[in-house]
A = this chain, B = another copy of it.
């Protein structure tokens, strides 16, 4: 049986690179234009699973993904993976560096390669594209252009990689999650993601939450506050903790939190990437 796996496309994006790194046997990858459409495809049953970015070390959390999990759907994170983001300079076959008159990419990608570009392609105009994959397609079609994109896109669209890893900062990483309708069995090396919704006007809520976790000797790996936007004065927290929801100490902490908070939504218990 083939698994239909939705992803943030088009073909050749970093998200597709992440998806392919999970293995391709029995997988049918289906690209969608937005994160919202990936979630909708999985929620409707049109796809079995989806792969979306959730956090980048430079750009921060992807709120579209967090909000889709917390507010819009009853889907679970079933896996996570952390990928180094490498930008390649891609041109039409035969084009040399000295032939390049302009750079095309997503503005974020161009910004992340600023130092390399200033040293190797000074003064070239920056042309914007909707995605790194679109940029590579344009560079292959217009020989004066060089794209910043993935090596995967270069292969898919018959481009040539002139230089790999032109990004300014080593350590540019993106965390992707697989979303689905099922849940995961404990592996002994798990992470649980939670959306915790406060009662209104309870300033001590976060201290209480951390005390519950401390009592259970549960380690937090991430915490982020966020206005719910549904109603003024309502706040929530996205929290990642180490362990599986079936661990007795986590089950107890969540039971105590459910008695006190407005809502405790489990976004997933899944194997930790690192």
Segment touching B, from A9-17, A159-167, A219-227: A219-227
A134 adjacent to B130 (CB under 8 Å): no
Whole-angstrom distance between the Cβ of A194 and the nearest chain B Cβ: 14
In the complex, chain B residues whose CB is within 8 Å of the CB of A131: 107
Q: How many copies of this chain does the complex contain? A: 2
Tell me whether A126 is interfacial, beta carbon within 8 Å.
yes
In the complex, chain B residues whose CB is within 8 Å of the CB of A211: 207
Whole-angstrom distance between the Cβ of A212 and the nearest chain B Cβ: 10
In the complex, chain B residues whose CB is within 8 Å of the CB of A134: 128
Number of interface residues of A (CB under 8 A): 37
In the complex, chain B residues whose CB is within 8 Å of the CB of A66: 60
What sequence of 0s and 1s flags, for each residue 257-273 of chain A, a beta carbon within 8 Å of any chain B beta carbon? 00000000000000000
Asked if A214 meets B223 with Cβ closer than 8 Å, knowing A63-B60, A128-B134, A130-B107, the reply is: no
Contact with A128, one of B130, B222, B225 (Cβ below 8 angstroms)? B130
In the complex, chain B residues whose CB is within 8 Å of the CB of A229: 57, 171
Query: Of all chain B residues, which has the CB nearest A235?
Result: B221
In the complex, chain B residues whose CB is within 8 Å of the CB of A210: 206-207, 210
Tell me whether A34 is interfacial, beta carbon within 8 Å.
yes
What sequence of 0s and 1s flags, for each residue 189-230 of chain A, a beta carbon within 8 Å of any chain B beta carbon? 000000000000001101100110010000110111101010
What sequence of 0s and 1s flags, for each residue 169-205 of chain A, a beta carbon within 8 Å of any chain B beta carbon? 0010000000000000000000000000000000110
A114 adjacent to B34 (CB under 8 Å): yes
Q: Can you list 12 A-B contacts with CB-CB less than 8 angstroms, sorted by A residue number?
A: A34-B111, A34-B114, A57-B227, A57-B229, A60-B63, A106-B128, A107-B130, A107-B131, A171-B229, A204-B214, A206-B220, A223-B223
